Amino acid sequence: MKFRHACWQYVRFTVTLSRIFAIVLVATAISTSAFVADAAPNANSKTSRPNIVFMLADDQGWNGLSVAMHPDASGSKSDVIQTPNLERLAAQGMRFSAAYAPAPVCSPTRISLQTGKSPAQLHWTKAAPPEEGHRLIEPRLIKRISDRETTIGELLRSAGYATAHYGKWHIGGGGPGEHGYDEHDGDTGNEQAFKFEDPNPVDIFGMADRAARFMERSKKSGKPFFIQMSWNALHASTNAKKATLAKYQRLLSGENEKRVSTAAISEDLDEGVGKLLASIDALGLAENTFVIYTSDNGSGGGNKRTGLRGGKGGVWEGGVRVPLIVRGPGVAANSWCHVPVVGYDWFPTFYEWAGVARAQLPTGVEGGSLTELLQRGGKVNVRRPRDFLVFHFPHYQGEDGPQSSIVVGDWKLMKFYEDDRIALFNLKDDLSERRDLAASNADRAAAMHRQLNEYLTAIDAQFPTPNPEFDANSPNRKPARGGKNRPEGKKPKKSN
């Protein structure tokens, strides 16, 4: 027993030492780059490095705002939900019509944002428990951020930034404080949302207040800051303000409670965004602060004629295409970007804003910096290690079972693992993914299928495996899952 304990302590010491060594290397690179930047002042020099406020909504779909996410797609905005503060943010910045979350579910997206790596590479591709009784067995996952990973919090703190993470963490590892964040709300998950009711629904306004105080302290200390606002909304939507619920009960008379409460909490969240933006303005920080608003996954895209297909738990567009609005230095007001971007692109973007050359990125980062794209009106392509995007969900949860997709330019190929079927779509002409062109474009489909398989092999992705006990005549056994109004299948916990 003593020998086993000694071995475990040695492993922990070795991992911790390796992690510290990696951060020291990053800090050294940052110091060198900052010295060079000081010699020739520019937008990323040490004296003008921008502040960053990164806002991440929970389960907010592409069409979940009153802001259109595509100028020519009628299904890219809500006709009912009112988000006037996000409308103003969009008018002041850039909207992205082809922004993707790294995954169609929350925790895999969150760890991808922290590390700049795809969920498939990290072996964390699902948040909910595995479903049993299907034709295929879901792979076992690593549901904890490793100490070996360098997070964006660690990177920016070593670059001299003050760092904070408020709201839902949901990737374990001891919480944000163990991964580079000076101030945080702890190792939180979905349960956090249910603790807060009117007048502070799901802690929206409490989070905004804490962020405002952090910005004020950072300004006084002369340090640039990075704040990740991982909003608890849209979870626990029935905890929305009573007045907002009443408003949407009138506007959506006859609709079910879920739709009413989702609309209400969306407007409450928009009010929190407005409160945070007002604090940035009051502190005189707007000119040198990037404000980013997006969501951790899709939630469905509206009606079948005009909306996106699929939703959370699948890699159809409705599961991974999300709202994205960016305001900041050099970003043209009321502008559009139609170039595909993905959540893990923010890691190298923040890296560049901190004044470090791309060559110093940690090994395995898959994203590309969006700096040039933002500065040039959204008209240039993103330079990544690979010129395509892959979304890998080898699980049961949404439509069509375990699946993967690859996006190359305007084309998207879907692969379904139960029957090894593929489907091909031209997103420019068919954003709703209704017309399968695989048969009429067989060579293109085969080439994209090959690219998909080669990529997944290269990053050591996990796959579902045949279930030897599967009985096609027996109904599938599915466990209860948490939702927006139920924390991991448990009865909501209420407090003031």
Q: Locate tokens 């590892």: which residue?
A: 173
Q: Which tokens belong to 359?
A: 């060559």
Give tens-digit pLDDT for 401-443.
Answer: 999 999 999 999 999 999 999 999 999 999 999 999 999 999 9
Q: Does the pLDDT of residue 272 top 60, yes or no?
A: yes
450, burial (CB in 10 Å: exposed 0-12, middle 13-18, buried 19+): exposed
For residue 10, name the pLDDT band (cuts at 50, 70, 90): very low
- CA dist 260 and 263 (Å) reads 5
Q: Which superfamily, per CATH, for 52-386?
A: Alkaline Phosphatase, subunit A (3.40.720.10)
Give tens-digit pLDDT for 109-168.
Answer: 999 999 999 999 999 999 999 999 999 999 999 899 999 999 999 999 999 999 999 999
Share of the chain above pLDDT 90, in %: 81
Q: Which helix (DSSP H) or strand (DSSP E) does residue 327 occupy? A: strand 324-327
Q: Does the pLDDT of residue 469 top 60, yes or no?
A: yes
For residue 304, name the pLDDT band (cuts at 50, 70, 90): low
- CA dist 205 and 54 (Å) reads 16
State how far Cα 296 lies from the chain centre: 4
What's the pLDDT score for residue 118?
98
Q: Which tokens belong to 473?
A: 């005549």
Report which of residues 161 and 33 the model is more confident about: 161
Domain with CATH 3.40.720.10 in the chain: 52-386
For residue 36, name the pLDDT band (cuts at 50, 70, 90): very low
What's the pLDDT score for residue 486?
53
Closest CA to 140 of 150, 130, 148: 130
- Mean pLDDT, rounded, for 207-229: 98
Q: Which tokens belong to 33?
A: 């780059």
Domain with CATH 3.30.1120.10 in the chain: 391-465
What's the pLDDT score for residue 12?
47
What's the pLDDT score for residue 5?
45
Share of the chain above pLDDT 70, in %: 85
What's the whole-model pTM score? Answer: 0.89
CATH number of 391-465: 3.30.1120.10
DSSP per residue, 115-137: HSS-HHHHT---SSPPPBSSSEE
- CA dist 210 and 212 (Å) reads 5
Give tens-digit pLDDT for 178-188.
Answer: 999 999 999 99
- Mean pLDDT, rounded, for 41-65: 81
Give tens-digit pLDDT for 55-109.
Answer: 999 999 999 999 999 999 989 999 999 999 999 999 999 999 999 999 999 999 9
What's the pLDDT score for residue 144?
95
**Mean of per-residue pLDDT scores for the chain:** 89
- Amino acid in position 93: G
Phi, psi of 132 (to 5 degrees): -115, 165
Helix axis angle for 106-115 and 346-353, nearest 10°, is 30
Q: Does the pLDDT of residue 338 top 60, yes or no?
A: yes
Q: What DSSP designation does 302 have?
A: S
